[in-house]
Chains A and B, each alone.
Chain A
Amino acid sequence: MFITRLKLKNWRNFKKVDVSLRERVYVIGPNASGKSNLLDVLRFMREVAKPEGGGLQKAVKDRGGLTKLRCLLARKDPVVSIEVELSERVDTKPLWRYALGFKSEGTGRQRVVVSEERVVDLTIDKVLLNRPDTLDKQDIDRLTQTHLEQINTNREFRAVTDFFANVTYLHLVPQLLKHADQLGGYRLEDDPFGQAFLERIAKSTDKTQTARLAKIEKVLRVCVPNMRNLRFERDKITGTPHLEALYEHWRPDAGWQREDQFSDGTLRLLGIMWSLLEGDSLLLLEEPELSLNEDIVRQIHKLIWNMQRQAKYRRQVFITTHSEALLQDKSIDAREVIRLEPTKDGTIAEETSSEDMALVTAGYTVAEVLLPKTKPAQVHQLSLFKP
């Protein structure tokens, strides 16, 4: 399933957001405009829906409490709300609408309570859940949990729960992977920085492993031309999982190298591609252009498209980026870009305007039309003077 519409109220630095989304969503905006905060909405929903150790209370607590979550500009309205529409594919009628609103209790322990939770099955236009209901009014404690997080109550909309619970966030930090031994065993929950990336590969069955690595190797060869035979191995003594690849060398068997000798860029690409092939829910990628050569960055869109096509289940991908090279790809649909613009009244998230769409049709690339709008005003003037 894909998220085809996202509505937010009072979420971090967004006072109000209402955008429609496509198979790939490129989130652009200046530094500190809230790109990561936008992705965090979906990580938040994952934590709420997660079967083990999740839930609304934990998701809020992990983010430093409601005061950190709620938009500073929300004065009168204390409710933070999130609403999504899920569809099987883009440009079709959506299947589900899920809305969640929550606020501080206002008295006593100031717990976080659900102020609204609605699930609509849009195929039959039926409201499956509309809280607070009479039971909630009798027992206020019920409002500290969502129905999304409870197996007993989410039976009718399990698909929605599963979708959120399987959202993946990846911001692979190669150094964490390379120096895993020295850094010790501490891992963050859900592994956002790819520390346990190799274990994830290890967990898949041999057959899928080989198939996926073959697909990845084929693509990777374009970017790292002298690399061959990407394979997965376990250390014979300690049993720790490793990735290996053969680098071309005049002595035929000398060039086997393990992941700690791969370049940062290669590792990041590997992580991105594996994730695209792996799950079936939304994938959140933070700046995939990091540590990559600009010519490779230019290929990222194609690579994502290719992997989405080859995967068993097509994943929707959200990508934050600053990269001009990435957005210069002429095959990027201008509708795939969401532009964030900080204003005095919070950041606004905008879809590509019809005027900008027309400019793209006239021959501009998405980068040329949209990126100048994400630059701070003063910076424009800097390059007036040619060196």
Chain B
Amino acid sequence: MQRLLRQAGYAGNPPTFRITHGNSSIRKNLDKYKGASRIIPHIVLTDLDRCYPCPPALFDDWRVGVLPPSMLLRIAVREVEAWLLADRKGIAAFLHAAPEKVPSLPESVDDPKQTLFSVIRKSRKRRLVEEMVPQRGAHIGPLYNDRMCDFALNYWQIKTAAENAPSLARNLLRISDFLRD
């Protein structure tokens, strides 16, 4: 999110990031965000989470209705991992794997996280596999989050990624439009 904002041309007071842990809580709190966005502009970013075929379906089901002009609700297709995979060269170099192993259109992949794991499994560094790929019975490896955050903050080429991930490109555009207003 920090990178998205910077790329979209955000320059202002450091914003406050709130992490809600789950789509359902965003859905529940939608009215609250609507109210609060009159005080501080809100950008709410969520993902499709495999329950909905496309963003309009989610809008319908959540009964989003009319949003105040100071609130932006954006939906990342599938998972945030897809956007990171979209920088093919970058992620391959970061994970010490061959770029060909990374899918060229990550947003059409059904489960981006599993795809990411399979890329890591082909990494030349054994250590990365141990750190990031989960044991059976876990969802992620112990250092998965730390490594991916490091990548997202310091290595991820957001422009390259936007070329491969249409939803990322769209979101960037909308966020920078929103920031301008």
Contacts and interface: CB of A to CB of B under 8 A. Distances in A.
B36 A382 contact: no
B32 A385 contact: no
Contacts, number: 57
Contacts of A378: 149
A372 B16 contact: yes
A91 interface: no
A363 B40 CA distance: 13
A372 B18 contact: yes
A386 B31 CA distance: 24
Given A362-B35, A382-B145, A382-B149, A387 B40 contact: no
B149 A363 contact: no
A258 to B, nearest CB: 41
B145 A385 contact: yes
B124 interface: no
A359 B16 CA distance: 12
A380 B17 contact: yes
Contacts of B17: 372, 380
B152 to A, nearest CB: 7
A383 B18 contact: no
B55 to A, nearest CB: 18
Contacts of B1: 384
Contact of B153 (A372, A381, A386): A381
Nearest to B81: A385
A362 B32 contact: yes
A355 B40 CA distance: 8
Given A372-B16, A383-B145, A359 B80 contact: no
Interface in B137-153: 139-140, 144-146, 148-149, 152-153
A355 B79 CA distance: 32
Interface centre among B18, B22, B81 (most CB of A within 10 A): B18
A373 interface: yes
Nearest to A371: B18
Interface residues of B, number: 28
Given A363-B32, A364-B32, A383 B21 contact: yes
Contacts of A380: 2, 17, 19
B35 A387 contact: no
Interface in A335-387: 355, 358-359, 362-364, 368, 372-373, 378, 380-387
Interface string B139-181: 1100011101100110000000000000000000000000000
A172 B31 CA distance: 42
B57 to A, nearest CB: 20
B140 A387 contact: yes
Interface string B17-28: 111011000000
A363 B33 CA distance: 8
Interface centre among A363, A373, A384 (most CB of B within 10 A): A384
Contacts of B139: 387
A188 to B, nearest CB: 40
B51 interface: no
Contacts of A362: 32, 35-36, 38-39
A381 B39 contact: no
Contacts of B29: 363
A78 to B, nearest CB: 34
Contacts of A383: 19, 21, 145
B137 to A, nearest CB: 12
Nearest to A383: B19
Contacts of A381: 2, 149, 152-153
A358 B19 CA distance: 20
A68 to B, nearest CB: 33
A239 to B, nearest CB: 53
A162 B19 CA distance: 46
Nearest to A369: B16
B113 to A, nearest CB: 8
Q: What are the 8 closest A-B residue pairs judged by CB atoms, nearest first?
A: A387-B139, A363-B32, A362-B36, A362-B35, A381-B149, A358-B39, A380-B17, A383-B19
Interface of A: 355, 358-359, 362-364, 368, 372-373, 378, 380-387
16 contacts: A355-B39, A359-B36, A359-B39, A363-B29, A364-B32, A364-B36, A380-B2, A381-B2, A382-B145, A384-B1, A384-B80, A384-B148, A385-B80, A386-B21, A386-B79, A387-B140
